[in-house]
Copies of this chain bind each other. A is one copy, B any other.
Amino acid sequence: MRVIIFLVILCCLSIPVEAKEKPSAGKFFQDVDKTELLNQVRKFRKRSEHKIISEFIHLLSIPNVSADKKNVGKNALFIKKEMEKRGIKVQLLETPGNPVVYGELKAPGAVRTLMFYVHCDGQPVDPSKWIDSQPFKPVLRPAKMKAGTRVPKPMPLPAPGKPFAEDWRLYGRSTGDDKAPIICLLTALDAMKAAGIPLRNNIKFIFDGEEEAGSPNIGPCLKKHKLLLTSDVLFMCDGPAYFSGDPTLFFGVRGITSLEVTVYGPNISLHSGHYGNWAPNPGVRLSRLLASMEDEQGKIIVSGFYDTVVPLSSTERKAIAAVPGFEKELQELYGFCAAENPGLSLMETIQLPSLNINGLSSGWVGDQARTIVPATATASIDLRLVKGNVPADMVDKVVEHIEKQGYHVVYEEPGQDVRLKYPLLCRVRRSEKGYPASRTSMDLPISRSVADAFAGLPGLKPVMLPSLGGSLPIYLFSDILKVPVIGVSIANYDNNQHQANENIRIGHLWRGIETFAALLMMPHGMGNL
């Protein structure tokens, strides 16, 4: 099968794509009433809302912090059971960490295989920050929680058969990131089955249990099961949809790496009265160091930081220009009136590598503050990378910058000899978990075919982004499986991803079901062969 497809691709590539594709796609689409199929899916959802949400709550109630192996395993088993109920052939691909749940569903006569990737693990939780609820005890609220307004009280689910309003929100860890695509995919299959819509494509599923921990085991797993995991396109289902609320297709993601920087003062924290402004204060030194990394216009002034960025293609630039600006709304939503980089739109900003302070810590603040010269000051920093940036090289540039500020950089806790030798001393911990950016060309036939799958569908016009700002280990899939990867985002942008009070808007969940149904039903347009 792969050989045939490969030969056909070769043929296609020798012919101008525009001329070949459009009529063929048109011909194929004429014989399928997509709108009617979508209506069937919507009808199914409307009569199943209580059941869908109940099942989702069940899934969300299983704690899923990546490091919590036991509970992530329970998530895997729950998902496996739900897939098997739907006739999907499932196996757990074991790894040294959390298992990958793999499933496949063959369509008789299908010549194309679509693979869906979702992750079932979540970011760490700090329950003290969750307002009026618990991360793993999901609650439905009649509206979004908004800073400065009364918290909408949790409400019971409506009785079976009664509708859920689109603006209601379900709060809980991984509601948006990234369990929503799981429930939407399974429901889309249910809806198709209930409506008697036959599968047109072979379908494969991968549910990763370590994405939020940087997917340390997915690479070896993909390599080991390479033959099992063949497909024609991989849909990476993660991330928030664009601010407009429309489902979002993204053709790339940023890479990520990180480092932690610790600057030293005295070897124990000292009384600030006896030693303040004499013993070196690590807080002011760290401040000076961090301030030297970014100018007041938001430009990262670490030497060479932007040098390796691969420029965008004209299609990509056009796509960015076509994305409607939401900066004003976002600033209002998030309560600030000036972005870091006043010269760039948000979409332009995320096409560049970033250097971002995730956290600062030194001594104590607030009620715990004590009058000391702290021993250390630490900043945790992440770098988001774009095509062309090599993770380790980008960290090197930051380390070189630190050295240029006069610091001696060490990678272990410095001993007394080192402390007494270097006036400015900085420990760097480099992340082991980084990975590069990834970008599928928007000019590929499969890219155009996916776009066509949505053409003309009422209320389901996707936003198309050359790259998402967030990071996913897409490079592993594209490198190891040699498959074009296209991202699918369905969660509301204000889902508090990675944060306390994560949530999904009910309407976005419904659109997610329809989005996956549209992809599952994708006809065999020539464009994707």
- A273 interface hit (Cβ, 8 Å): yes
How many angstroms between the C-alpha atoms of A497 and B498 in the bound complex?
39
Complex Cα distance, B98 from A129, in Å, reads 33
Within the assembled complex, what's the spacing in Å between the Cα atoms of A341 and B280?
Answer: 9
Tell me the A410-424 residues at the B interface (CB within 8 Å): 415-416, 419-424
B-contacting 9-mer, from A12-20, A181-189, A291-299? A291-299
Residue A26 CB within 8 A of the other chain: no
Q: Does A270 contact B (CB under 8 A)?
A: yes
- B338 adjacent to A357 (CB under 8 Å): no
Q: Is A222 an interface residue, CB under 8 A from the partner?
A: no
A376 to chain B, nearest CB (A): 10
Q: Mark A341-383, 1 if CB is under 8 A from B, else 0.
A: 1001010011010111111111111101111111001111010
| A365-B276 CB under 8 A given contacts A124-B370, A358-B372 | no
Taking the complex as formed, is A332 at the interface, i.e. its CB lies under 8 A from any CB of chain B? yes
In the complex, the answer to whether A288 meets B296 with C-beta atoms within 8 Å is yes
**A258 x B346 contact (CB < 8 A):** no
Does A340 sit at the interface, judged by CB under 8 A? yes
Q: A469 — which chain B residues lie within 8 A by C-beta?
A: 271, 273-276
Query: What distance in Å separates the Cβ of A211 from its nearest Cβ neighbour in chain B?
Result: 12
What is the interface residue range for chain A against chain B? Answer: 35 or more
Residue A128, interface by CB 8 Å: no
Tell me if A497 and B260 are in contact (CB < 8 A): no
In the assembled complex, the Cα of A422 lies from the Cα of B423 at a distance in Å of 38
Interface string of A393-413 (1 = CB under 8 A from B): 000000000000000000000
Q: Contact at A254–B283, with CB atoms within 8 Å? A: no
Per the 8 Å Cβ criterion, residues 280-312 of A in contact with B are 280-281, 283-284, 286-291, 293-294, 296, 298, 300
Q: A256-B273, A363-B380, A416-B147 are in contact. Are A341 and B278 (CB under 8 A)?
A: yes
- Residue A339 interfacial (CB < 8 Å): yes
Contact of A279 among B290, B334, B365 (CB under 8 A): B334
Contact, CB under 8 Å: A281 / B357:
yes
Distance in Å: Cβ of A150 to nearest Cβ of chain B = 14
Partner of A258, one of B254, B284, B339, B371: B371
Q: Which of A472-529 contact B (CB under 8 A)?
A: 493, 496-499, 501
A270 to B284, CA, bound (A): 26
Looking at A83-91, A132-140, A261-269, A454-462, the stretch in contact with chain B turns out to be A261-269
A468 within 8 Å of B by Cβ? yes
- Smallest distance from the beta carbon of A15 to chain B beta carbons, Å? 38
Q: How far is the CA of A289 from the CA of B424 in the complex (A)?
A: 20
**A334 near B298: Cβ-Cβ < 8 Å:** no
Q: Is the CB of A335 within 8 A of B123?
A: no
**A160 beta carbon closer than 8 Å to chain B:** no
Q: Is the CB of A277 within 8 A of B298?
A: yes
**Which one of B265, B271, B293 contacts A284 once the chains associate, using CB atoms below 8 Å?**
B293
A471 on the B face (CB < 8 A): yes
The residue that A276 contacts in the complex, of B124, B337, B382, with Cβ under 8 A, is B382
With known contacts A293-B284, A499-B268, A359–B350 Cβ distance under 8 A = no
Complex Cα gap A368–B373 (Å): 24
Complex Cα gap A331–B334 (Å): 46
**A337 and B148 contact, CB distance less than 8 A:** no
Bound-state CA distance A418–B72 (Å) is 43
Partner of A335, one of B256, B293, B416: B416
A341 to B281, CA, bound (A): 11
Q: Is A272's CB within 8 Å of the partner chain B? A: yes
Of A264, A280, A356, chain B has the most CB atoms within 10 Å of the CB of A356
In the bound complex, what is the Cα–Cα distance between A61 and B289 (angstroms)?
43
Complex partner residue of A382 from B340, B371, B377, B421, CB under 8 angstroms: B371
CB distance from A437 to the nearest CB of B (A): 11
Known contacts: A291-B284, A335-B419, A497-B271. The answer to whether A279 contacts B340 by CB under 8 A is yes
For the A-B complex with A278-B349, A283-B379, A371-B382 known, give 4 more contacts whose Cβ atoms are closer than 8 Å: A286-B287, A286-B360, A287-B289, A288-B296
Return the 4 tightest CB-CB contacts between A and B, nearest first. Answer: A273-B470, A283-B357, A359-B363, A267-B335
Would you list 15 pairs from A and B whose C-beta atoms are within 8 A, ordered by A residue?
A239-B274, A240-B274, A256-B273, A258-B369, A266-B334, A266-B336, A273-B470, A274-B497, A277-B300, A280-B338, A356-B373, A357-B363, A360-B361, A360-B377, A364-B380
A contact set with B: CB distance below 8 Å: 123-124, 126, 147-148, 239-240, 254, 256, 258, 260, 264-281, 283-284, 286-291, 293-294, 296, 298, 300, 331-332, 334-341, 344, 346, 349-350, 352, 354-366, 368-374, 377-380, 382, 384, 415-416, 419-424, 468-471, 493, 496-499, 501
